[in-house]
């Protein structure tokens, strides 16, 4: 835990007394809003909160485990006064605060410790000229929220936030509003496995203007200066500095007596400099434009344009994508869509021009036994690409890593050894084999978070990597597909899909395998009620992807039963099976899942939810298992509220294990 410097009970009591006695010192009385007084008290609110936490964690291999146990009590009293000087429209104030008493006990396999903290929350907000068209708000707030992460437990963070906000309306013929804000926030705290040390200063202003009838334009500028030394306590932390400026213009226009034509545009410019052990710069400009023309009641034409220019250090990428087409409801049962497309990519070491023609149509109708639909699609592309480099670099691709679920990288044919995974603040670089592992299935590379990782469950990481280019060639790609669907006997549904892709090389040579082949999918499902209140929802799906790069066969079955246990209480029982066989990889899937859910209102004033989940996957090179119990109970009566959460979780990946038991309870009284 981060060492604190508590001011002591006496000092905290003196500060709290000032808040409580402030109205009396000012000889305040309750006043109506229209009163004009040197000082008036409008309202006094607050809350008393008592909270408890128990957190027990074990991790490691089967024979070598470490444990961490934490228990803490928190008591908080907060009083908020709403008052004014002269008149609420001239100056009204939110002033409040109160002590937070924290008692914590830590016990690990190597040490134990305890501490008692006396903290103080405070809120001060001055709202000036609220009734004018140019109000201003100045504020300062100190809070000590509890931060919970699945891998580092729960700990207190001190947040200090202050700044000024305001706006000016009725500018330029009463159609323009100016908004501005200058703020600073500092966060500081640490737990058994995580450190929070971040300061951020933001400056922003925006102009919103409307003209004609439905047209509007917005200009916004934001500047961020951030310093961070946050991260996992188990890895070295490098302080990072981020300077970022974003300017953005958005416009929407409508034309025609019946507003047949709608145009929306967005232009965004971002300049960024990130300083860690090295200096990285980014200059990024993005334009998005869309035109929608409703030429009759059943049809419309469209034009979509996206243009991106990105410069990072010594690399540059220009990307343009243009699509123009039309869509129309030909009959009550038939819908068709067609488009032409052109895209260009020009970046360091690689260029590509692509022209495409796409079309799709659907037909559906109701029948005596239910209904059916048929849809078809076709596309033709001409690609002309030139590779002057063997590899292309990718920077800061965001991935959200939840549990031990693998997440695919955006590009295929990733170069071995080029992957670097960092946290969002770039203060830490995670270690392959300890924090994550890479999985290759054909041409696709995935990132999988490991059980005892320093990456927290659900964390967003940034990934740098390189992927190989496909050589220099001109080639045509043709694709088509057909799908059938049917509903019958009121409760059953079925579908069949067939897609095919074929590539013809006109000249040159492609160095990576083509993604040609066929995809076949079919499935059947039902939703049915039986046995006086039980509902069955079941679906089976078979998928065969016979492509050159990543062929596989998959069978999935999902079944769930739902029923009411009386009143609003509902019970759900569910199970799933996934068998996936990858032809060119040993990372197959042989997974079963079970879930029990119970939720609803009980005893009139209580809400209960319970979920139990089990996942067992033995198909890959590292078998994995997840087990979760979650219980949530909420009770409220008038101004009293009680909430309890309990979680039992177990994670296994190979020989690594993680076990966690967490119980939190909180009683709050609002006054």
- Averaged over successive runs of 10 residues, the pLDDT of the chain (671 residues) comes to 42 44 38 70 94 84 74 92 92 95 84 86 95 95 71 70 96 90 93 83 96 91 96 88 97 91 97 90 96 91 97 91 96 96 94 97 90 96 94 92 92 94 93 94 92 88 93 96 93 96 94 92 93 90 93 97 87 97 90 96 89 95 94 93 94 90 93 88
Residues 137 and 220 in one domain: no
Six token digits for residue 324: 């123009």
Residues 281 and 308 in one domain: yes
Residues 115 and 153 in one domain: no
CB-based contact 456:194 (threshold 8 Å): yes
Residues 138 and 160 in one domain: no
How confident is the model at residue 557, as a pLDDT?
98
Pick from 366, 363, 357: nearest CA to 335:
363
Residues 307 and 410 in one domain: no
How confident is the model at residue 599, as a pLDDT?
94
User: Which of 121, 142, 163 lies at the terminal end of a domain, its last residue?
Assistant: 142
Residues 158 and 275 in one domain: yes
Q: Which residues pair with 663 in a beta bridge?
A: 54, 646
User: Which of 126, 142, 158 lies at the terminal end of a domain, its last residue?
Assistant: 142
Distance CA 200, CA 669 (A): 34
Residues 290 and 417 in one domain: no
CB-based contact 267:287 (threshold 8 Å): yes
Distance CA 581, CA 518 (A): 16
How confident is the model at residue 24, as a pLDDT?
37
Residues 129 and 149 in one domain: no
User: Which of 283, 313, 343 lies at the terminal end of a domain, its last residue?
Assistant: 313
Number of domains composing the chain = 3
Q: For the chain, how far is it from start to end, CA to CA, in angstroms?
A: 33
| Burial bucket for residue 72 (CB in 10 Å: 0-12, 13-18, 19+) | buried
Asked if residue 454 belongs to a domain, the reply is yes
- DSSP letters spanning 253-313: EEESTT--EEEEEEEEEEEEEEESSSEEEEEEEEEEEEEEEEEETTEEEEEEEEEEEEEET
Distance CA 443, CA 460 (A): 24
CB-based contact 499:477 (threshold 8 Å): no
Asked if residue 365 belongs to a domain, the reply is no
Distance CA 582, CA 554 (A): 9
Helices marked H in 566-666? none
CB-based contact 192:177 (threshold 8 Å): no
Residue with structure tokens 């029948």? Answer: 367
Distance CA 105, CA 121 (A): 22
> In sequence order, which residues have a C-beta less than 8 Å from that of residue 116 and are 6 or more positions away?
6, 101, 102, 103, 104
Residues 121 and 153 in one domain: no
Asked if residue 449 belongs to a domain, the reply is yes
Pairing state of beta strands 517-530 and 492-508?
Answer: antiparallel
pTM, to two decimals: 0.85
Asked if residue 130 belongs to a domain, the reply is yes
Counting Cα atoms < 13 Å in the Cβ hemisphere of 331 gives: 7
Asked if residue 84 belongs to a domain, the reply is yes
Asked if residue 603 belongs to a domain, the reply is no
Residue with structure tokens 């890479």? Answer: 438
Residues 180 and 211 in one domain: yes
Asked if residue 534 belongs to a domain, the reply is no
| Burial bucket for residue 110 (CB in 10 Å: 0-12, 13-18, 19+) | exposed
How confident is the model at residue 383, as a pLDDT?
96
Residues 58 and 106 in one domain: yes
Distance CA 450, CA 654 (A): 10
Pick from 509, 510, 502: nearest CA to 476:
502
Asked if residue 33 belongs to a domain, the reply is yes
How confident is the model at residue 16, as a pLDDT?
42
How confident is the model at residue 436, as a pLDDT?
96
What domain range includes position 101? 1-142
Residues 103 and 138 in one domain: yes
């Amino acid at each position: 835990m981060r060492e604190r410097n508590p001011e002591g009970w006496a000092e905290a009591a003196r500060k709290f007394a000032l808040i409580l006695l402030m109205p009396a010192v000012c000889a305040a009385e309750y006043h109506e809003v229209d009163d004009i007084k040197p000082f008036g008290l409008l309202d006094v609110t607050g809350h008393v909160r008592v909270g408890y936490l128990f957190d027990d964690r074990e991790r490691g291999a089967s024979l070598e485990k470490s444990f961490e146990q934490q228990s803490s009590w928190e008591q908080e009293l907060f009083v908020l006064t709403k008052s004014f000087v002269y008149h609420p429209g001239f100056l009204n104030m939110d002033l409040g605060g109160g002590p937070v008493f924290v008692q914590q006990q830590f016990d690990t396999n190597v040490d134990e410790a305890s501490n008692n903290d006396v903290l103080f929350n405070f809120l001060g907000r001055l709202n000036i000229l609220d009734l004018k068209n140019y109000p201003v708000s100045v504020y300062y707030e100190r809070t000590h929220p509890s931060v919970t992460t699945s891998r580092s437990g729960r700990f207190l963070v001190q947040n200090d936030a202050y700044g000024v906000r305001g706006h000016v309306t009725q500018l330029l013929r009463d159609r323009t509003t100016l908004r501005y804000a200058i703020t600073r926030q500092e966060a500081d705290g640490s737990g058994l496995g995580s450190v929070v040390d971040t300061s951020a200063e933001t400056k922003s202003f925006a102009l919103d203007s409307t003209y004609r009838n439905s047209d509007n334009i917005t200009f916004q500028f934001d500047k961020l200066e951030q310093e961070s030394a946050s991260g996992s306590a188990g890895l070295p932390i490098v302080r990072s500095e981020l300077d970022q400026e974003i300017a953005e213009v958005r416009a929407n226009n409508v034309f025609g007596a019946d507003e047949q034509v709608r145009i929306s545009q967005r232009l965004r410019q971002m300049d960024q400099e990130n300083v860690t052990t090295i200096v990285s710069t980014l200059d990024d400009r993005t334009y998005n434009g869309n035109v929608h023309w409703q030429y009759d009641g059943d049809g419309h034409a469209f034009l979509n344009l996206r243009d991106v220019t990105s410069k990072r250090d010594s690399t540059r990428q220009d990307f343009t994508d243009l699509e123009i087409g039309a869509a129309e409801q030909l009959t009550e049962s038939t819908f068709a869509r067609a488009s032409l497309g052109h895209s260009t990519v020009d970046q360091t070491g690689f260029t590509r021009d692509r022209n495409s023609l796409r079309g799709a149509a659907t037909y559906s109708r109701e029948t005596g036994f239910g209904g059916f639909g048929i849809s078809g699609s076709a596309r033709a592309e001409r690609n002309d690409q030139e590779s002057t480099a063997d590899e292309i670099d990718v920077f800061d691709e965001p991935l959200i890593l939840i549990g031990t679920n693998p997440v695919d990288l955006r590009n295929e044919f990733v170069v071995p050894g080029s992957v670097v995974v960092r946290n969002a603040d770039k203060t830490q670089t995670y270690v392959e084999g300890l924090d994550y592992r890479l999985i290759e299935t054909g041409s696709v590379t995935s990132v999988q978070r490991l059980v005892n990782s320093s990456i927290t469950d659900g964390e967003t990481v940034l990934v740098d990597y390189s992927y190989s280019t496909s050589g220099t060639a001109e080639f045509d790609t043709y694709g088509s597909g057909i799908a059938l669907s049917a509903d019958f006997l009121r409760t059953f549904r079925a579908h069949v899909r067939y897609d095919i892709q074929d590539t013809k090389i006109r000249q040159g040579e492609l160095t990576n395998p083509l993604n040609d082949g066929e995809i076949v999918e079919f499935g059947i499902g039902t939703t049915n009620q039986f046995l006086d209140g039980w509902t069955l929802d079941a679906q089976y799906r078979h998928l065969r992807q016979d492509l050159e790069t990543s062929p596989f066969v998959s069978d999935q079955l999902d079944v769930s039963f739902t029923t009411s246990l009386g009143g609003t209480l509902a019970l759900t029982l569910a199970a799933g099976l996934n068998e996936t066989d990858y032809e060119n990889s040993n990372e197959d899937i042989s997974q079963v899942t079970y879930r029990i859910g119970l939720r609803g209102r009980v005893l009139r004033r209580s809400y209960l939810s319970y979920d139990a989940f089990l996942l067992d996957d033995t198909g890959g090179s590292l078998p994995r298992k997840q087990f979760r119990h979650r219980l949530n109970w909420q009770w409220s009566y008038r101004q009293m509220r009680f909430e309890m959460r309990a979680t039992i979780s177990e994670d296994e990946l190979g020989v690594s294990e993680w076990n966690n038991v967490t119980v939190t309870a909180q009683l709050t009284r609002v006054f």
